[in-house]
Amino acid sequence: MTLETLRDESLDLQGETVALRRSLHERPELGNELPITRDLLLESLEGLPLDLTLHQTTSGVSALLTGGKPGPTVLLRGDMDALPLNEDTGLDFSSRTDGCMHACGHDTHTSMLSTAAKVLSAHRDEIPGRVLFMFQPGEEGHHGAKFMLEEGLLDVPALADGTDSPVTGAFALHITSTLATGMVATRGGACMASADRFLIRVHGAGGHASEPFRTVDPVPIACEIVLALQTMITRRIDVFDPAVVTVGRIHAGTTNNIISPLAEIEGTIRTVSETTRAQVHDNLKRVAQSIAEAHGATAEPEIIFGYPVTSNDDQFAEFTLDTAKQVLGADNVRRFPNPIMGAEDFSYVLNEVPGTMMFLGGTPPERDARTAPANHSNLVTFDETAMPVGVELYAQMALRHLGVTA
């Protein structure tokens, strides 16, 4: 088995990779229950020497390939769920489901990982250890990885001779339309942010809009809280361990001449360390409650926890970058200078196992990576010629982690 062998096999299977990707793209599903997606995936894996586990709390699928020699286990992740928006790409295989679209490329992830399972299965006897393929639902805010972990994803059984085969590394790819096709990028340490939602209910006393002195108007109090939260970030948070607090919604009242007793502020918190994350939570509550109290109102802040920081293991990240250079050449490999403020629930896996999240370029040939519609856009498209690169990276990461140099 050589580097060229894996490359050729990835290219030879491109027709199957594209066919699965387009079938998934036409039939997108949301959240943790993806019955159509799971059926299409299982059909693509049929006949492979995999021990399949169909998860019960979600539509997750874990598939275990046991090599011909004893060794540890490496985990490869591909997410499967779509986003709640209407597709306007005009593709021949556009979504058939109103209000649902694969706008983040998860259809490509699932297809690439399925093909990687085929490539690695063909070399099963040469593999010293195991490969655990994690096909995950619910990445788009539904904590699918967390549910799969709670259901025992990492509890890999011992080998037939009783030898343990623990999961010692994890790898995930994420395609992006804003990185040139054939390029990959990642970094050690914090790679993506945590993402929490907050809701602040400001309780005042309602009344007639012509007599505000007889009320406690929550609207100007809410406005003051919004501004104070931005000052809080610039004056209470270390600039070298940053945070973003964005208010995305303010709601109060029913008409123009009534002072509402309630105003609501809703937004998101992004951080790249758990220390700053906790600090922002505490400060947000204190600021909101203190400002409300100063005006004779009360504030009820609520933090809805989302994904933790996606933190790549430093050594594993270097290993990943080196592997990518072997596959693509150094000119096609980038090290991100800073974290991305988006979030990922692969973070749950990386909290348990050393590993890396890597980004794969997939800008369509007719587009410029600097201006192409980005992931989560109703216009986003991806270059399918990037997918054999992803297949090869999945396979190479698994083999090299297990000690096979192709």
Q: Is 200 buried (19+), middle (13-18) or exposed (0-12) by CB count in 10 A?
A: buried
Give the pLDDT confidence of 257-303 residue by residue, as tens digits.
999 999 999 999 999 999 999 999 999 999 999 999 999 999 999 99
DSSP 3-state of 250: strand
Q: How many alpha carbons fall within 13 Å on the CB side of residue 268?
A: 13
Nearest CA among 137, 159, 165, 161 for reference residue 62 = 137
DSSP 186: E
Q: Quick check: 375 and 109 in contact, CB under 8 A? A: no
Query: What average pLDDT is seen over the chain?
Result: 96
Which residues, listed in sequence order, are joined to residue 196 by a DSSP beta bridge?
Answer: 269
What pLDDT score was predicted for residue 1?
A: 63
For residues 105-112, average pLDDT: 98
What pLDDT score was predicted for residue 71?
A: 94
Which residues, listed in sequence order, are joined to residue 207 by a DSSP beta bridge?
Answer: 259
Among 126, 266, 274, 384, which one carries the catalytic annotation?
A: 384
The answer on pLDDT for 9 being more than 70 is: yes
Among 307, 344, 348, 392, which one carries the catalytic annotation?
A: 307
Nearest CA among 360, 343, 358 for reference residue 146 = 343
Helix and strand element counts for the chain (H, E): 10, 16
Counting residues of the chain whose pLDDT is more than 90, the rounded percentage is: 95
Query: Where are the alpha helices (H) located in 216-273, listed in sequence order?
Result: 218-236
What pLDDT score was predicted for residue 61?
A: 98
The answer on pLDDT for 116 being more than 70 is: yes
**Region(s) of the chain under CATH 3.40.630.10:** 3-191+309-401
Q: Which helix (H) or strand (E) holds 118?
A: helix 106-121
The answer on pLDDT for 163 being more than 90 is: no
3-191+309-401 CATH, one of 3.40.630.10, 3.40.50.880, 3.30.70.600, 3.40.50.300: 3.40.630.10
Q: Is 33 buried (19+), middle (13-18) or exposed (0-12) by CB count in 10 A?
A: middle
The answer on pLDDT for 74 being more than 80 is: yes
Give the pLDDT confidence of 145-161 residue by residue, as tens digits.
999 999 999 999 988 88
Q: CA 210 to CA 263: how far, in whole Å?
A: 18
What pLDDT score was predicted for residue 405?
A: 78
Structure tokens at 119: 């490539």
C-alpha radius of gyration, the chain, whole number: 24
Region label for 155, one of left (φ > 0), alpha (ψ between -120 and 50) or beta (otherwise): beta
The answer on pLDDT for 3 being more than 80 is: no
The answer on pLDDT for 406 being more than 70 is: no
Give the pLDDT confidence of 298-350 residue by residue, as tens digits.
999 999 999 999 999 999 999 999 999 999 999 999 999 999 999 999 999 99
If you count them, how many residues does the chain have?
406
**Region(s) of the chain under CATH 3.30.70.360:** 194-307
Q: Quick check: 228 and 292 in contact, CB under 8 A? A: no
E strands in 55-118: 61-66, 69-79
Region label for 143, one of left (φ > 0), alpha (ψ between -120 and 50) or beta (otherwise): left
For residues 71-83, average pLDDT: 97
**Can 384 be counted among the known catalytic residues?**
yes
Give the pLDDT confidence of 243-255 residue by residue, as tens digits.
999 999 999 999 9
Give the pLDDT confidence of 190-219 residue by residue, as tens digits.
999 999 999 999 999 999 999 999 999 999
What pLDDT score was predicted for residue 199?
A: 98
Give the pLDDT confidence of 347-382 residue by residue, as tens digits.
999 999 999 999 999 999 989 999 999 999 999 999
- Measured between its terminal Cα atoms, the distance across the chain in Å is 6
Residue 25 sits at the vertex; the CA angle it makes with 23 and 27, to the nearest 5 degrees, is 75
What pLDDT score was predicted for residue 127?
A: 95
Question: 162 pLDDT band (50/70/90 cuts)?
Answer: confident
The residues, ordered by sequence, that sit 6+ positions from 218 with a Cβ below 8 Å of its Cβ are: 202, 203, 204, 252, 260, 261, 262, 263, 297
The answer on pLDDT for 143 being more than 70 is: yes
Which residues, listed in sequence order, are joined to residue 245 by a DSSP beta bridge?
Answer: 269
**Pairing relationship of beta strands 128-136 and 61-66 according to DSSP bridges:** antiparallel
Q: Quick check: 369 and 180 in contact, CB under 8 A? A: yes
Structure tokens at 180: 């040139």
What pLDDT score was predicted for residue 135?
A: 98
What pLDDT score was predicted for residue 362?
A: 96
Q: Name the CATH architecture for the domain at 194-307.
A: 2-Layer Sandwich (3.30)
**Can 348 be counted among the known catalytic residues?**
no
For residue 223, how far is the Cα from the chain centroid?
Answer: 32
For residue 376, how far is the Cα from the chain centroid?
Answer: 12
Q: CA 348 to CA 143: how far, in whole Å?
A: 9
What pLDDT score was predicted for residue 178?
A: 93
Amino acid at 289: Q
Structure tokens at 366: 């007719």
Complete edge-to-edge strand list for the sheet that includes strand 298-307 = 243-252, 262-271, 194-203, 298-307
